[in-house]
Structure 1
Amino acid sequence: MVNRERSGGCKERRVICDEARPNCDRCELHWTRLHPSSFQLPPGRDLDSSRGFFENLAPALLDQRHDSALTLVVSAVSESFLALWQEGARSMQVQRRSFNQAMQRLRTAVLNPTERRSPATFLVVLVMQFHESLAAIYTRRKPSRIHYSGAEALLPLSKLKDGEKVQSAHITRFMASAEVPSATREGRPVPPTAFRWLYNSDYGSVPLNLGAFLADLLSLSLVNNASDNIPPSEEESKPWHP
C-alpha cells in the first residue's frame, strides 16, 4: 500500500512524496518495503456459487417495498433471532405480528399470477422454512417441512422472465441442496424432482459452479442409496396453503 501522507523529510523540503517509489523516511523507519502483492486473495462466495441461503436473499431485498411479504418476514425472523441472542433459547419465538402480516401478504401474492412466479415469493416461503428449521433445533422438537412443501408446489406454476432466470436458478439449486439434510433427518429418499432442480434445462444459460454441482449430486445420490422407501408421515402429507 502506497504511503499517501508525506513523511517528515518531505514536509521539511516541501515536496510531495514520490508515490511510484514510496521508500521515504517514514517507510524506512518502520522497516517497511512496499511492493505490489504477488498473489490474489480467493474471491468470496457470491450468487454464482449456487450455494447458501442468504446470498440469494440479499439481492431480492434490494427492490422490495417496505410492506412486501419478503421484507415483513425477514423483519419478523430477524427480531426472533435478535431475541434468541439476547435472551436465550426460551425466547425463540417468531414475532407474530410481523409474521402474520407477511402471511397475509403472501396469500395475496400467491393469488396474483405475476407475483406468484416472482423469485421473491419463493424466498418468503423459504425464509419461513429457515426459521422453522432453526427454531426446531433450539426448542428440541421435530421440524416441520410444511413451508418447504409450499415452495415445491409453487415451482411448477412459475413462468419466469428472462431477467429473473439467474436468481431463480440459484434458488432452485438451493432447494435441491436443502433436500439433503431434510431427507437424511427423515430417513427417506430424495424425490426425483430434486435432481431436476439441480440442473434444469430452462436455466442452461446460467453459469453453474461445477464444484457445488458435483457435491450436491453426490449428496443426493448417497442419501438415496442409504435410505429405505419409508412412507410419508401424516404431517408430510398435509396440503400446503399460506
Structure 2
Amino acid sequence: MPNYGRSGRCRTCKRRRIKCDEARPACSPCRRLHLDCEGYTKDYVFRRDESHKFASAARLKTVKEQGEPSRSLLTGADVAVPFFLVHYAGMGRSLAVARGFYETLIPIYTSQPPDSPLSLAVSAVAARVFSLWRHEDAIQVKAHSVPYTQAVASLRSALGRAEDRRRPATTLAVLALHLYESISAVYDARQAAPLHHHGALSLLPIGALDSLDGQSSSYVKGFVLHIEVSSALRQKRSMHPNVSSYLSTSSLVPGNLSSTLDSIGASVAELQAEYVRGLTRRHATGPLLEQQCRAWITEAGQIDDLLQAWARDVPHHWRPLRLTSGQDFSPCIPAYRSACDIYPSCQIATLWNLWRFHRLLLLKINIGATQRIFTLPVREESAGDERLVPTTLESAIQAGSVIQELVDSICHSVPFYLGNRTKQSSLIDFTDPEILFPSYHSLAPGDARFAARLQDCNDGAALLSGDEHHRHMVSYGAWHVVSPLSNLLTLVSDDHGGRLVASCLRPGQQEWIRQQFLRVSTVVRLPAAGPLGGGEESRSPSFVPVGLKSADGTAEILKSADNAAENLAKQVRKGAIFMSGP
C-alpha cells in the first residue's frame, strides 16, 4: 500500500502552510489559484506494506535483544534500500544546495528495473550503510558483496552498449559503487581503489550525457566533477584531464551555489598542486623562487576574492546564526567557547565548512610563500626599486587573523552536527529523546530570530519539522563533521606550512579539535588507528573527555589521544580519498 509519510500535502501547499486535498496530478487549491502544483515529496516510497521498516525504537530494541523470528524483517534490501533512500537521499535534501548525487537518485532510481545496474548498486550501498547502524560483524558485512558483485557485472554489460553509456542512470550506478568502495575503505582502514572514480571520469567526455534527461544530467555531471575536485585537494595534485574541459569560472549548474563553489575549488586545487610542486623543486633559488612565491600570493588573493564574492551571494537564511550555551541551547551539549553556530541543514553547514577549508588552504599558501621570501638572501635593489616584503609581511599577519576566525567558525559548527552524542550510533538514536541538537527548533516559538528564519526560507531543506530535523541530524550530522575535523588536523600537521597554521590558533584549540574528532570517531564507529589497546576495545577510538589535566597523571593519556587523533585523521583521508568533500 502507498505510504506518503506524515503529510501528503503537495510541496506548494506545504510551503504556503494551507490544507491540501492531495488530488493528483494537481491539487484543488493550486488549480483554483492557477498555481504550479509542485507535486508530492513522498511518491517514491514503494507501494507495498512497509510499516515494519519504520518500527518504533522500542520494537527495534526488542528485536535486537530477544532475537525473535521477526528479526528477518529488519535485514536485507527490502529494509536497507527504503532506509537509505528516506534518510540519506530524501530527508533534508534540496536542489538549491545539491551536489548532484543524492538529490537526483530517487527519481532516476524509481524509473529503473530491479535488475538494472543502478538498482543493484543502490541495494549494495544501502545494505552497507544499514550494516553500520546495525553493528554487523565482518561475516554479515561480507554478505553485502553479493549485490555488489551483481551490480558490477550488470554495469559492465551496460557500458558495452553505447546508448546506456550516455544515460545518467549508468553514471549514477558508477557513483553508487564508488560510494560503496569508499565506505568499505574507511572501515577497512585501507586506501580506496580508484576504479569507480576513474570510471565516472571516463564518462564525462560523452557529449550526449549533456542532452539526456535535462537537468538531472547536469547535476550528475556536477557531482562527478565535485568528487574529482575533492580528490585532487586531498592528494595535492592537478585534476584529471577530462575535468579541465568542463570547468570554467561560471557555475556548472546555473544557479546552484554548490556547483559554483566547486568551480572555485578547482582553482584552489590547481594552485595547491603547483605550490607543492614548486616547493619540492631544487633548482628554483634566489630571484626565481621569490618571483614564484609572489605569483602564488597574488593568485591566492584572486581566488580568495572569488570565495568572498560567493559568500556575499549566499541567501540570508543560509548564514550561520550564533547561539549561546545555557541560554539558547542545553549546556550538556559540548560547545567551543560556550557558543554554537546553527544552519538550516547539514548540507548548508557543510557547504560553509568547505568554503572555509578552501580559504584556509589559500591562507596557508600565502603564509608559506611569505616565509620563503623572508628566508631568501637579501639582494641589492636598484635605485627607485622598492621591495614589497613589508607589504607581504603585513598581509601574512592579516592572514593569521583570518585563519583564527575561520577555524573558530568550524569549531562553532561542531555542536550543530554532534549535539550531545558521545556513544556509538544505533537505530535507537532516531527516536531517542535524550539526544539533543542545537537548532532553530531549540529556540522559543516567540523568538524573533526563529520567526525571521521561517519568513526568509524558501527551499525544501528549510521546511523540516523538529522530528525530521532530529532524524536528519542523526543520519548526517556525525558523518558531515568527520571531514572538517580531519581536514583541520591534517592541515596543522602538514609538511607544507602546517605548523604556521597551527601557530595562529588559540592555546588549547588544537587539543579541543583532537578531542572532538575522537568523539565523532566513536559515534560513527571508525576503526582505531595505532595502538589503542587490543581485542574489542581496539575497534573504535576511545573518547578523551574535554578537561583532562596532566596534574592527575593523565599526561600520557592525552599524548596518546593526540597521536591517535592525528593518525586516525590521516587514515580516514586515505580511505575517503575519492569521497565527496575534501
Q: Same fold (TM over 0.5)?
A: yes
Correspondent of 1:105 among 147, 154, 158: 154
SS in 2 for 1:189: coil
Q: RCO (CA 8 Å, sep 6+): is it higher in 1 or 2?
A: 1
Structure 2 CA distance for partners of 1:192 and 1:96, relative to 1, 3 Å: closer
Question: Where does residue 208 of structure 1 map in the other structure?
Answer: 254
Q: Determine if contact 2:117/2:152 at 8 Å carries over to the other structure.
A: yes
Structure 2 CA distance for partners of 1:88 and 1:222, relative to 1, 3 Å: farther
- Amino acid of the residue matched to residue 228 of structure 2? E
- Amino acid of the residue matched to residue 119 of structure 1? P
Question: Where does residue 29 of structure 1 map in the other structure?
Answer: none
Say if 2:220 is the partner of 1:220. Answer: no
Structure 2 CA distance for partners of 1:169 and 1:112, relative to 1, 3 Å: same
- Amino acid of the residue matched to residue 144 of structure 2? Q
Q: Deviations over 1:135-163 (max 9, x none)?
A: 22222111122101011112223524745
Identity of aligned residues (%): 31
Q: Larger deviation: 187-196 or 65-74?
A: 187-196
Question: Where does residue 180 of structure 1 map in the other structure?
Answer: 229
RMSD after superposition: 3.1
Correspondent of 2:105 among 57, 74, 96: 57
Task: Name structure 2 gaps, 5 residues minimum.
Answer: 1-16, 20-91, 279-582
SS in 1 for 2:237: coil
- Amino acid of the residue matched to residue 165 of structure 1? G
Task: Write the mapping of 1:1-242 to structure 2, written as runs, cut at 5 A.
Answer: 45-47=93-95, 49-87=97-135, 90=138, 93=142, 95-160=144-209, 162-198=211-247, 208-227=254-273, 228=276
Q: Determine if contact 2:112/2:119 at 8 Å carries over to the other structure.
A: yes
Structure 2 CA distance for partners of 1:108 and 1:151, relative to 1, 3 Å: same
The Cα shift of 1:52 comes to 4.6
SS in 2 for 1:82: helix
- For residues 130 and 2 of structure 1, the distance between their equivalents in structure 2, rounded to whole angstroms, comes to 39
Q: Determine if contact 1:184/1:223 at 8 Å carries over to the other structure.
A: yes
SS in 1 for 2:111: coil
- For residues 203 and 100 of structure 2, the distance between their equivalents in structure 1, rounded to whole angstroms, comes to 20
Q: Larger deviation: 177-186 or 85-94?
A: 85-94
Q: Determine if contact 1:76/1:94 at 8 Å carries over to the other structure.
A: no
Q: Determine if contact 1:75/1:98 at 8 Å carries over to the other structure.
A: yes
- For residues 79 and 137 of structure 1, the distance between their equivalents in structure 2, rounded to whole angstroms, comes to 16
- For residues 156 and 219 of structure 1, the distance between their equivalents in structure 2, rounded to whole angstroms, comes to 21
The Cα shift of 1:87 comes to 1.7
Structure 2 CA distance for partners of 1:57 and 1:2, relative to 1, 3 Å: closer
Structure 2 CA distance for partners of 1:47 and 1:199, relative to 1, 3 Å: farther
- For residues 141 and 94 of structure 1, the distance between their equivalents in structure 2, rounded to whole angstroms, comes to 20
Question: Where does residue 9 of structure 1 map in the other structure?
Answer: none
Structure 2 CA distance for partners of 1:160 and 1:143, relative to 1, 3 Å: closer
- Amino acid of the residue matched to residue 122 of structure 1? T
- For residues 249 and 264 of structure 2, the distance between their equivalents in structure 1, rounded to whole angstroms, comes to 17
Q: Determine if contact 2:202/2:242 at 8 Å carries over to the other structure.
A: no
- Amino acid of the residue matched to residue 223 of structure 1? A
Q: Determine if contact 1:72/1:101 at 8 Å carries over to the other structure.
A: yes
- For residues 212 and 242 of structure 2, the distance between their equivalents in structure 1, rounded to whole angstroms, comes to 24
- Amino acid of the residue matched to residue 139 of structure 1? D
TM-score by length of 2: 0.29
The Cα shift of 1:53 comes to 2.2
Q: Determine if contact 1:48/1:207 at 8 Å carries over to the other structure.
A: no
Number of equivalent positions: 187
Q: Determine if contact 2:158/2:165 at 8 Å carries over to the other structure.
A: yes
The Cα shift of 1:197 comes to 3.2
Structure 2 CA distance for partners of 1:161 and 1:54, relative to 1, 3 Å: closer
- For residues 2 and 168 of structure 1, the distance between their equivalents in structure 2, rounded to whole angstroms, comes to 34
SS in 2 for 1:87: coil
The Cα shift of 1:2 comes to 8.6
Q: Deviations over 1:38-65 (max 9, x none)?
A: xxxxxx6433544152112112112100
Question: Where does residue 6 of structure 1 map in the other structure?
Answer: none
TM-score by length of 1: 0.66
